[in-house]
Amino acid sequence: PQNLLLFGNGETASPLSTPQEPGRAAGFAHGHPGKEPRDARRISWEAREMRKSLKMLATDIREKARICYGRQDATGIAKALATDGTLSMVLYRLMQGSRDVGAAPLEMVFNKLNSALGNCIIGRGADFGPGFILFHSNGVVINGKVKGGANIHLHHEVTIGDNEHGE
């Protein structure tokens, strides 16, 4: 058949048949010669890498709530989510997570969205640890070679670049 449904137990079935053990499907192989189905270990590695970026985003937002509103409860977090700069923080972490899992097209989409919606340009190679806060994202420009640590807090119209040696 053109399309095969692959099950975790190594069995295959056509798309019209039902699996022997429900919930064991591992993915579709689209009948392309030489194309192997995605490895379940790689999928979980990708999920772990994206989860790491999302955990950093949660830390970023809690830190912004603490600094801006003096609280990290649900009200403080809701306020932090609604403030200027938070959209750019979210898009940056999604871009970073996409890069970490090797999804370059998705990384580029988040980069362009950040530029268009947040007026914030963060280079695709930039790397910041947890606690990265943009209080106001308007006019922020960060070179893709920047490696920042934890608890970096930026306001509007900040440029972080490299020197003439690319450092």
- pLDDT of 8 > 70? The answer is no
pLDDT on residue 9: 44
DSSP one-letter string for 75-120: HHHHHHHHSTTHHHHHHHHHHHHHHHTT-HHHHHHHHHHHHHHHS-
Residue predicted with more confidence, 133 or 29: 133
Whole-number mean pLDDT of the chain?
81
pLDDT on residue 37: 52
pLDDT on residue 162: 81
pLDDT on residue 45: 77
Strands 4-7 and 12-13: antiparallel
pLDDT on residue 106: 96
Q: Please provide residue 115's backbone torsions phi and psi, each rounded to the nearest 5 degrees.
A: -65, -45
pLDDT on residue 15: 42
- pLDDT of 131 > 90? The answer is yes
pLDDT on residue 12: 43
Q: Which residues pair with 12 in a beta bridge?
A: 6
Residue predicted with more confidence, 120 or 167: 120
Is residue 58 within 8 A of residue 77, CB to CB? The reply is no
Q: Is 32 exposed, middle or buried (0-12, 13-18, 19+ CB in 10 A)?
A: exposed
What percentage of the chain exceeds 90 in pLDDT?
Answer: 66
Model confidence pTM above 0.85: no
